[in-house]
Amino acid sequence: MKNQKNKSNKRIGGHVSASGGFLTAIREAKRIGANTIQIFGASPVRWSALLPDSETAKKFISECKINDINPVFLHAPYLINLASPKGNMPRISEALLERHLEIANELGAFGVIFHIGSRGTRPQKESEHLVAKELSDILGRIKEGRLIIENSAGAGNLVGDSLEEVGSIMKLVNNPRLGFCLDTAHAFEAGIFADFSKKGVDNFAKMLNDKIGADNLWAIHLNDSKTPAGSNKDRHENIGKGLIGEEGFSNFLNHPIFNGVPAILEVPGYDDNGPDKKNIETVKRLSGID
């Protein structure tokens, strides 16, 4: 219950654009009232990525400090597919993820959140071993920073749509710098977290603690879902306006396993401009923060 008394210090934010440079992400965070953010460290649709120049990186770190924005997460490019059965795809995916971990370290970010990808025709167990080896290799070469696996909505042969899959990869890697990001919409859509009643949330929390370990839950992608539980269709909705709903989020946000974990919104926003003040205020209200 350590987090209950610290409610006013709860970390709530969203994915913000850094397309005008990393410092614009801080302006965006302030505009929407976020005290934690997620950004892309480079273009999410490019295979190459430059490290930020050290001047910019220093300024970004100090501005985050001044404005009490922490933790900062990077979201890895969507191109990454560590489990792909195709040619050199796993190898270039590993290299790109490694690069983004370096960028995260330059920017003083907590870590990089990424999707494992689709295994296609590659068998499940083989995929888990391949991904574990890739992650171990990256963490072996880059000595600081964290990698954070995000659960997927489960379409196709995506790896990481169940807590068992993520948990088994984490056990194989067995590295304290590998953690988990729970996306509420993806978990709902994948059908692994279909019931957001008090009892349903509690059951899911127990399962998460059992398969992954509550201490390894480092971030939450807080998203409502436009599509039904088990649909495997990934469509995010503003908090309380989708099929998880306000009561579901209230149960979730007030559960002791989830209430102290930084919450990052990846919602469409009320102006279709992404995470906004209104969504952040909804989360605060549902968390019992004024």
Q: Which is nearer to Zn ion, 202 or 266 (CB)?
A: 266
Asked if 221 interacts with Zn ion (CB under 5 A), we say yes
Q: What's the min distance (Å) between Cβ of 28 and Zn ion?
A: 18
* Count of chain residues binding Zn ion (CB under 5 A): 3
Nearer to Zn ion, 106 or 152 (CB): 152
In angstroms, what is the minimal distance from the CB of 284 to Zn ion? 20
Closest to Zn ion by CB, 28 vs 183, is 183
Q: What is residue 237's three-state secondary structure? A: strand
Q: Which listed range, 36-44, 117-125, 194-202, 221-229, lies at the site for Zn ion (CB under 5 A)? A: 221-229
Length of the chain: 290
In the bound complex, what is the minimum distance in angstroms from residue 122's beta carbon to Zn ion?
23
Distance of CA 32 to the CA centre of its chain: 19
Q: Which stretch binds Zn ion (CB under 5 A): 26-34, 52-60, 92-100, 218-226?
A: 218-226
User: What kind and span of H or E run contains 181?
Assistant: strand 178-183
- Of residues 226 through 285, those in contact with Zn ion by CB under 5 A are 266
- Percentage helix, strand, coil for the chain under 3-state DSSP, each rounded to 5: 40, 15, 45
Q: Restricting to residues 45-104, name those near Zn ion by CB under 5 A.
A: none
Q: Least distance to Zn ion from the beta carbon of 103, Å?
A: 19
Q: What are phi and psi of 279, to 5 degrees?
A: -65, -40
Q: Name the minimum Å distance from CB 266 to Zn ion.
A: 5
Q: How far is CA 207 from CA 106, 262, 268, in A?
A: 35, 20, 29
Nearer to Zn ion, 15 or 119 (CB): 15
Query: What are the backbone angles phi and psi of residue 212, rounded to the nearest 5°?
Result: -125, -35
User: 121 to each of 89, 93, 202, 208, 231, how far by Cα in Å?
Assistant: 14, 18, 35, 28, 22
Place of tokens 């946000």: 253
Contact residues: Zn ion, CB under 5 A:
183, 221, 266
